[in-house]
Amino acid sequence: MDLVVAGIAVAAFVACIVVFTGAFSGTRREPMRVAADPDDERWMTVPEVASVLEIGEDEVMDLVDRRAIPFFVVPGARRPSPEAFRFRRDEIEDWTIG
């Protein structure tokens, strides 16, 4: 009986590790890029990107959540608010063209 309980515990532990690390998910998370000077003119905000792409700000945030758009994180900003993200103009232009 103790062997069965130990086996279940080991299986549960392995399952937790797989879930928490994202193993076998097929997606690899890149480290977040940080916007060193978020007030520089080369950066775009969520509303600016939404305007350029002609979509809603919620849709831009969805793209950020899915990491489907190139973005940077503002140090110290409260995530997941729109103020916490910046976008480089050149990357957005390349992203929309490519």
pLDDT in tens, 25-77: 555 566 789 988 888 888 999 999 999 999 999 999 999 999 999 999 999 88
**pLDDT at res. 85:** 95
Evaluate if pTM is beyond 0.75.
no
pLDDT of residue 14: 52
* Alpha-carbon gap, residue 57 to 10, rounded angstroms: 44
pLDDT of residue 29: 61
Residue with tokens 């062997």: 3
Task: Return the pLDDT at 2.
Answer: 76
- Give the 3-state secondary structure of residue 10: helix
| Range list of H helices, 1-98 | 2-21, 46-53, 57-65, 89-97
Residue 4's pLDDT is what? 60
Average pLDDT, integer, range 73-90: 91
